Amino acid sequence: MTELIKNGKRQDDRKPEEMRDLSIEAGVLKRADGSAYLEWGSNKVIAGVFGPQKCIPQHISNPYKAILKFRYNMAPFSVDDRKRPGPDRRSTEISKVSKEALESALILRHFPNTMIEIFVEVLQAAAGTRCASLTAASVALADAGVPMKDMVAACAAGKIGDEVVLDLAKEEDNAGKADVPIAIKPKSGDIVLLQMDGDLTPEEFDETLSLAKEGCMKVSEEQQKALQEKYEMEEGE
């Protein structure tokens, strides 16, 4: 097997602290209140936001705030081995942690008894889809005009060979030593999601975390750019 990192270069020619190319477009779905399409390396993800709207079923509504629903779904054709359609343990977990990460950034008390639904469809997957989904969902929520204290920007860092690297690609995720996806609120720097797969020493963990935070700040810039472009386009219409 070829080495994942050799002379400071990764298989896709990236430096350890380099992110895969990321592009985000806001407002891509006509029927959603807010939406975003994102390409991150080979990942392709689309997010749609609906609401605040009438809460269904009504008995789960909250008289003090809107409830948030998050559905992460991977298309059967998004991965090499066809994925069985429908929810599974992994998508349930990703939906849960993503919802909790976003909840802390949204101002939900303005919309009692309502629900806000977020649907994320992963069209093509190549490691890092939970970060891609959260990043797209956050742009879609802003596009929908849902009041937010802050955005949520996500990025992973991890370890391949003996090196800590940013934003693991598929081969690196498969054969690497550790993967640490995180999400932060860029204004406050608060961490709203942190997961870890693999083994790291405490020192390596600190290094991984700070690299992932730097990655999130770059992601945050792209999110702002996408929203700015959308509003500049609207002003020009």
Binding site for ligand CDP (CB under 6 A): 79-80, 83, 90, 125-130, 170, 173, 181
- Sheet strand arrangement including 67-74: 22-26, 34-40, 43-54, 114-124, 67-74
**With respect to ligand CDP, which residue has the nearer C-beta, 170 or 213?**
170
- Cβ atoms 185, 49 nearer than 8 A: no
**With respect to ligand CDP, which residue has the nearer C-beta, 71 or 170?**
170
**With respect to ligand CDP, which residue has the nearer C-beta, 20 or 230?**
20
- We find the least distance from the C-beta atom of residue 170 to ligand CDP, in angstroms, to be 5
- We find the least distance from the C-beta atom of residue 129 to ligand CDP, in angstroms, to be 3
Q: How many C-beta atoms surround the C-beta of residue 93 within 10 A?
A: 13
15, amino acid identity? K
**With respect to ligand CDP, which residue has the nearer C-beta, 35 or 98?**
98
**With respect to ligand CDP, which residue has the nearer C-beta, 21 or 109?**
21
- We find the least distance from the C-beta atom of residue 101 to ligand CDP, in angstroms, to be 13
- Cβ atoms 217, 225 nearer than 8 A: no
* Chain centre to alpha carbon of residue 222: 13
The contacts of residue 180 (CB under 8 Å, 6+ apart) are: 156, 157, 158, 194, 195, 196, 197, 200, 205, 208, 209, 212
- We find the least distance from the C-beta atom of residue 166 to ligand CDP, in angstroms, to be 14
Alpha helices, DSSP H only, in the chain? Answer: 89-103, 129-143, 170-175, 202-236
- We find the least distance from the C-beta atom of residue 27 to ligand CDP, in angstroms, to be 25
